[in-house]
Amino acid sequence: MSKQNNDTEAETTSHELETLRNLIYGNQARAAEKRITHLERRVEAVYAELGETIRTKTGETGADSAAKLAQVRQELLERMDGQHADLGKRLDALAADMKNQLNALQTKMEKLHAEQTERLLTLQADAQERDDDLRQELLTLTAWLDDQKTSRYTLGDLLVQLGDQLRQKKEEGNG
């Protein structure tokens, strides 16, 4: 029985110790447990608030990014429209300049054609005049030669007379 007594005493002592411990440390443990629970709730609340803030900021950043992207896109479109209009004006100016240059070139070509036609007509008139002058000179020379020449019959008669005279002289010289 001593063993049983010892066991009972040990249990009683253990139980008393536990009660004593609860009395001494129980209030502190409960207070610490309450504080820990309160801190855990507070950490969860802060964590939830932080998550919400991150989601909000991320959403705001996304919205800001989308707004900035839309603004940049609009500015780019406006700039492209401006450049397109500027290029259109430049192209129109170049087309007008080219048209003016073509008109000036056509005017020069027409003037050159008129000058060449006039020169050709002048050369033709000069050639015709020279041809007429040469023809007139040839006719004049031919008429003069006709006046100056002796007919064949007259020349033939003169040659016959010359031959007769030479024969007579020969006969006189022989005779």
% the chain with pLDDT above 70: 91
pLDDT of the residue at 74: 93
Residue 154 and residue 175: Cα distance in Å, rounded? 31
Q: Which two tokens stand for residue 114?
A: 């008129």
pLDDT of the residue at 67: 84
pLDDT of the residue at 175: 60
pLDDT of the residue at 5: 64
7: region left, alpha or beta (phi > 0 left; psi from -120 to 50 alpha): alpha
* Confidence grade of residue 96 (pLDDT, cut at 50, 70, 90): very high
How many Cβ atoms are within 10 Å of 26's Cβ, its own excluded?
Answer: 13
* 150 alpha carbon, distance to own chain's centre: 90
pLDDT of the residue at 22: 72
37-49 pLDDT, tens digit per residue, is 898 999 899 888 8
pLDDT of the residue at 3: 63
pLDDT of the residue at 64: 79
Q: What is the mean pLDDT of the chain?
A: 85
Q: Which residue has the tokens 């990014």?
A: 65
Residue 66 has pLDDT above 70, yes or no: yes
Q: Which amino acid makes up residue 169? A: K
How many Cβ atoms are within 10 Å of 17's Cβ, its own excluded?
Answer: 10
pLDDT of the residue at 1: 54
Say if pTM beats, i.e. exceeds, 0.85.
no
113-154 pLDDT, tens digit per residue, is 999 999 999 999 999 999 898 889 888 888 877 777 667 888
DSSP state of 74: H
